[in-house]
A and B are shown apart, each in its own frame.
Chain A
Amino acid sequence: MTASALTELDGAGLDGLGARAVKVLPGLVRWGGALAAALVIFSVLLLVKGVDPFEAYSRMWVSTFERPRSVQEIFVQMTPLVLGALAVAVPARAGLTNVGGEGQIIIGAVAACGTFLMLADRASGALIDVAMLVASMVAGALWAGLAAALRLLGGVNEAISTLLLNFVALDVLLFLIYQPWRDNPVGQPTTKELVDTAKLPVMAAGNKVHIGIVIALVLVVVVHLALNRTRWGFRISVAGGNAEAARRAGLNVGLLVVSALMIGGALAGMAGMIHFAGVEYKLRPGFGNQLGYTSFLACWLARHQPFPIVVAAFVFAALSVAGDSLQLDSGLPGSSVNVLTALILLAVLGFTTKRKVSRA
């Protein structure tokens, strides 16, 4: 008797909630196991570096979750991750792999910054914000649209083209801040700082968390509804599942593919704008470093589902904040926390795959 049949049998006698709990349990156990394995391996590495793992973990916990500033920082950092992960989830429903979040986020921020530089003192803060938001979404959508067009016209694999376009976007960003948009002649080049009136408002005075998190969470619900409750959402999943069948059923597969990828690009572009207007206020080399790739992994961890994306983004943001503790409290390089993040991902990749493939 298979495991799923067993859980169904057990669940039959229980009420709805209990039955559900029994069904999720094996999954939870696997995920818990993966997390534990990652923590154990990381402990060994810490020991090798002469750091007491229990002390390091408890310090990480305290400085990440028990200081208000750190908790606020988690919400700030998870905002672009949620949007960036949605930018992967929408195309994924249509069977597309969008590895280009990184570039789409950068291009969105570039469009936002360009819009600000154009309007500067001639518009009110609110107007600048709206204009920046629209510009970033259009730019992100067009950048992703390049990959969509290449797929339709040339049969180019969108995973490869979106990935390559990331680096083009990065170089465009660098060109702009080193040359035409450069504001400071010496030191690390940056663009002019966003005017105060256009900076995204924070939740309360003295609080770091800005309105972006609300926008991101609303969009999680919107994307969930769009994917699961609309005709369009149904159609892109049909096109993603079996393009030939979709075509025979009279669906315009090309249009569906383009729309899914461009909406993904628009979401990523928006992430770039929100990161620009809510956190950075200027473009600089290293802007949004690896936000796109982290989002891709967060989306993968959430199995491309909108609501779990919120959890995954929270976990990644918390790990990133915990990395500061490793640096400050344990004297390790800040990017060491990448090891823990990667170990969790690898453990999940290794432990929770549904079936083994090709043992032969």
Chain B
Amino acid sequence: MSLVVDVMSGGVRGGTSIMYAALGETVSERAGVINLGTEGSMLVGALSAYAIGVESGSPWLGALAGAAAGGLLAGLHAYLVVFRGASQFASGLSLLFLALGLTSLFGASYVGSGLKHGFRTWDVPVLHAIPAVGPILFEHDPLVYAGYLTVPLVWFVLFKTRIGLLARTAGERADSLTVHGYSVAWTRTGAVAVGGMLAGLGGAHLSIAYANAWFENMTAGRGFIALAALIFGMWRPWRVFFACLLFGLLDAVSIRLQGVALPLVGQAPVQLIQALPYALTVILLAGFIGRAVAPRAIGQPYVKEH
């Protein structure tokens, strides 16, 4: 029992950075822009949060810096794809390379330096005492709880507010935005920047709450798992949240199974378990489980007709 609780609690902690990034990418793609630079936003977010955390002694300032850095990188993506009509894939991948290089260049001095003031675990009063559920969900650091709140927040803004409606329209029927006198370009830019900020927060969680360390390329593909989680969650915040929990859980299980001999199969095929998030997402896309429909205008630059 306690082993199961441990693994699930690890899944929540490990899945949080992915969840922030996936929610961010949800916002971005809902407005019609695919951002492969999400991984890059996470990386610069992780390093900025760590650096500011170390220098200022405040993890909260660190988290803010992480969000700002992630948003800035995504802003560059928005400029290139929205205002310059650049290929979304080429721009996103270029920004990933930029982030890899920048964090390697400026992060080297932080490798192995101690972080004294990272986020600490804070048990939610009352709730953490619930058997099983308490330790799994309510004995974490504040950024995990902030993540819980971000899910309904993103859902509410996207689906219940005017600004969310505008963002989604930019991703579905950009023409009608123009007809009503709104700017597709700025709507998309805003959504992409917000997406990058969330990804930056995810990176911040990784460096100043989860690992309490900085090392080169520490996101290790989490931005791409987030992309898979977003598709697995069919571009809907709540489903994306559960997809992240599932993927986080798979990761926690595979870490637990390292070097363990299983009956019948022998040594656990840990690496194949780690492939499951991607494989499941491909299967889902193929329509075997349900229908994942992307926003209609996704990936296409918007050209105003005269």
Contacts and interface: CB of A to CB of B under 8 A. Distances in A.
B278 A168 contact: yes
Contacts, number: 169
Interface residues of A, number: 53
Nearest to A301: B90
A177 B4 CA distance: 29
Contact of B102 (A150, A153, A339, A350): A339
A299 B103 CA distance: 26
Given A168-B282, A357-B84, A358-B185, A336 B104 contact: yes
Interface stretch (B56-64, B130-138, B238-246, B267-275): B267-275
Interface stretch (A108-116, A240-248, A341-349): A341-349
Nearest to B282: A164
B286 A336 contact: no
A359 interface: yes
B85 A338 contact: no
B95 interface: yes
A255 to B, nearest CB: 20
A336 B269 contact: no
B150 interface: no
A64 B18 CA distance: 39
Given A335-B216, A345-B90, A160 B302 contact: no
A340 B100 CA distance: 11
A339 B269 CA distance: 36
Contacts of A353: 84-86
Contacts of B282: 146, 150, 156, 161, 164-165, 168
A333 B216 CA distance: 10
Interface string A160-179: 11011101101110110011
Contact of A358 (B97, B105, B303): B303
B212 interface: no
A336 B94 CA distance: 14
B98 interface: yes
Contacts of A99: 36, 89
B278 A159 contact: no
Contacts of B260: none
B301 interface: yes
A281 interface: no
A348 B10 CA distance: 43
A360 B101 contact: no
Interface in B72-99: 76, 79-80, 82-87, 89-91, 93-98
Contacts of B224: 163, 167
A97 interface: yes
A130 interface: no
A99 B227 CA distance: 14
Contacts of B100: 335, 338
Given A157-B294, A168-B279, A179-B269, A350 B185 contact: no
Contact of A342 (B98, B294, B302): B98
Nearest to B84: A353
A26 B75 CA distance: 28
A164 B228 contact: yes
A227 B23 CA distance: 41
Nearest to A347: B94
Contacts of B269: 175, 179
B94 A346 contact: yes
Interface centre among B76, B274, B301 (most CB of A within 10 A): B274
B231 A297 contact: no
Nearest to A176: B271
B178 interface: yes
B285 interface: yes
B231 A160 contact: yes
A174 B84 CA distance: 39
Given A171-B271, A175-B272, A296 B285 contact: no
Contact of A360 (B90, B183, B278, B301): B183
Interface string B10-49: 0000000000000000000000001010000000000000
A218 interface: no
B304 interface: yes
Nearest to B228: A164
A280 to B, nearest CB: 19
A231 interface: no
Given A167-B275, A346-B76, A156 B286 contact: yes
A198 B168 CA distance: 56
B285 A160 contact: yes
Given A163-B224, A333-B104, A336-B101, A358 B82 contact: yes
Contact of A359 (B34, B83, B227): B83
Contacts of B89: 97, 99, 159, 296, 300
Given A333-B108, A336-B105, 14 more contacts: A150-B282, A154-B285, A163-B227, A164-B278, A164-B282, A179-B271, A336-B104, A339-B105, A342-B101, A350-B80, A358-B301, A358-B302, A359-B185, A360-B185
Nearest 7 interchain pairs by C-beta:
A338-B101, A339-B101, A357-B85, A171-B275, A342-B98, A175-B271, A335-B104
